[in-house]
Amino acid sequence: MHLVTKQIKNREYFYLVEKERQGKRVVTSRTVYIGDRQKLVDLLQGSATLALPSSFSAQSVGGVLALANLAEDLGIESLIDKVCPVRQGAAPVGRRLLIAAVTRATTTRRTNGLCNLRSFYEGCALSDILPIESSGLDDRRMHEMLSGITAKQIEEIEAAVVERLIEREKIRTNALAFDCTNFDSYAGAKNSSRLLQRGHSKSHRPLRVMGLGILVSDDDGMPLLTFVYPGNENDIKSFGRFLRALDRRRDSLDLSIDATVAADGGNISQKLLRRMEKDPRYYVIRLPARHLTDLERCKHDALPKLDAKLNSPIRAKKYHCAVYGVQRCVVDVYSKRMHQRQLPGLRRDRDRARAGLIELQRLLERQRKGLRRSIPITLQSLEGRVAKVLSREHMKSLFRVTVTKAPGAPVLKFLELSDAWDHLDDYVLGRTLLVTNRADWTPEQIVRASRLQSHNENLFRDVKDSGGVTMLPLRHRRDSSLRAHALIVILGLMLGKVLQRRVKAAGIKAPSMASVIDPLKDVLRARVFYPPDAPPALRALAADIWVPAQRTPRQQELLTALNLQNNKQLGTTLAERLSPKKQGRRKKIPS
């Protein structure tokens, strides 16, 4: 059909005319009247409006797709189901734990709770990537599942997953680092949990806390062994727990004979050192200076320089001296960078201590003159106040304070010792003592092994980051649920670390998990909706496809590195839905 115009009484009218051939003649077979020019414009505008969508719905797909695809490649779901089988027809434990771990890695602290798990699952691409009956992700049913997983099953799941990671990702286990931290909980005083206890909180808040110990590898800081413990347990006891767990997991970790463990000075004790040397296990542990008093330390500028390429100039010297009554190898290390970073804090503490002592002198003078109307300061209370003012590290050595009894008010005198400051500057600041049974190693190798703990600090930063794979908040109150909650977080960390590792292997910069997961979380797909009076074929097509969003260069290179750039879950266009045969039939529009 084609459009023709006719002039009737000097007015222009439009018709659609269809012609056909009858023998040798071309005749008009059909004529459709349209109307004047205004009616033609109204018809065209109405047709164009029907072709425009009325609304759209967008959802995040990149982050959950990358993590779920990685978990499928590693077979994590099947590993969990082997340890935690369920009755036929019930929701599988492996898929539910995996969905919870992916959700924990891709949501913020505000929305990462189990109460939001079902709504997040139904509103993102996980419902297409990891299909499951959404009622199995209900808050109540998830709590029931977590409380039913035993501590033995959690350890078996972690051992199986770590063994698979070591096999597939070729993770090195010859150098490992252990450290522990704790997490705040708002559990009440009547809570009966053995894990949530009042102890030394890292946040310095008077709350019940739960401890977490982590052993990581030296390449990319992959978590290999984790366990939770009561929050009132000190670091030495937690290190003993770690050694027992290491004995149980030695086969799954595939530890070499010369595997070396680096740990912090808070984990050291005479009993634990003897235990590690009896097995034997190789270790490099920071030794608190107060534990070694017979070593004559030289000035930092007298220590030999190390030629190793480290972050800052390092000086170190190896000694063989008595540690806890046994001859052991000790390395005295000086870092100029550490020295420079300690100075501002030390000066601040010194100024605050001086100001506090001066304020105490002022209060005593007012009390002596009868101008102070508060509770009188006695000799005993003054000694307590002085101890509080000088409670910061090194302050007692920088100030010489004398308190004497006198009529009206005690007398406080103090003297700032310049020699003590020079001693700190030459012998203490920037210095670290390391004790090890690797006597055959050079100081450079020992220092490098001690630096492995930076991986633990980075990992703790991730599990406490409100926008990352965070352990917080602890909403559970049962010990079994708390252990399962920690397992979900560790699974999310493992997936994020492997994702970061694969991106780096592709030659793309990935300094942290967030640098990989955050851009992927912003990869969207959308589904468009047409009004009811739109053509049925157009509405059916729109209901069947997801349209990909525009991607940034960073998102595109990450998807390419993970081999997801052509994944159908990201969305398809009409050109992609057409087969090559249909694409060939389309008429080319001349440029």
3-state SS, residue 325: coil
Q: Tell me what percent of the residues of the chain surpass a pLDDT of 90.
A: 48
Is a pLDDT exceeding 70 seen at residue 58? yes
Quick one: pLDDT at residue 412? 94
* More confident site: 6 or 493: 493
Phi-psi map region of 507: left, alpha, beta (phi>0 left; psi -120 to 50 alpha): left
pLDDT at 344: 94
Q: What average pLDDT does this structure show over 438-457?
A: 87
- Three-class DSSP category at 86: coil
Total-model pTM = 0.82
Single-letter residue type at 413: K
CB within 8 A of 528, min separation 6: which ones?
A: 53, 55, 56, 542, 547
Beta-strand relationship, 260-263 and 175-185: parallel
* pLDDT confidence tier of residue 463, bands split at 50, 70 and 90: confident
User: What is the rounded average pLDDT for all residues in the chain?
Assistant: 87
Element holding 82 (H helix, E strand): helix 76-83
Categorize the per-residue pLDDT at 130 as very low, low, confident or very high, splitting at 50, 70 and 90. Answer: very high
Q: Where is pLDDT greater, at 310 or 153? A: 153
pLDDT of residue 45: 60
Strands 223-230, 197-198: parallel, antiparallel or unpaired by DSSP? unpaired
| Residue 588 banded pLDDT, cuts 50, 70, 90 | very low
> At residue 414, does pLDDT exceed 60?
yes
pLDDT band at 157 (very low <50, low <70, confident <90, very high): very high
* Higher-scoring residue by pLDDT: 460, 103: 103
- The two three-digit tokens of residue 256, written as one number: 């070499």
Fill in the amino acid letter for 575: A
- The per-residue pLDDT for range 333-380, each reduced to its tens digit, is 999 989 999 999 999 999 999 999 999 999 999 999 888 888 899 999
- Sheet strands side by side (includes 25-35): 2-8, 11-22, 25-35
Question: For residue 289, is pLDDT > 60?
Answer: yes
pLDDT of the residue at 591: 38
Facing residues of 432 across strands? 333
Asked if 118 and 137 touch (Cβ cutoff 8 Å), the reply is yes
HEC secondary structure over 494-512: HHHHHHHHHHHHCCCCCCC
CA distance 554 to 520: 9
- Domain extents for the chain? 1-50, 285-436
Residue 286 confidence (pLDDT): 92
How does residue 585 score in pLDDT terms, banded at 50, 70 and 90?
very low
Q: Residue 258: pLDDT above 70?
A: yes
pLDDT score recorded for residue 51: 64
The pLDDT of residue 154 is above 50: yes
- How many Å apart are CA 529 and CA 542, to the nearest integer? 7
Question: What is the per-residue pLDDT for 582?
Answer: 44
DSSP string, 100-118: HHHHHHHS-GGG-SGGGHH
Helix axes 553-561, 62-74, angle to 10 degrees: 10
Distance CA 522, CA 503 (A): 17
Q: Mean pLDDT lowest for which of 104-108, 138-142, 578-582?
A: 578-582
The tokens for 514 are 């967030």
Query: In terms of pLDDT, which residue wins out, 507 or 16?
Result: 507
Query: What pLDDT is recorded for position 41?
Result: 66
Q: What is the pLDDT of residue 46?
A: 60
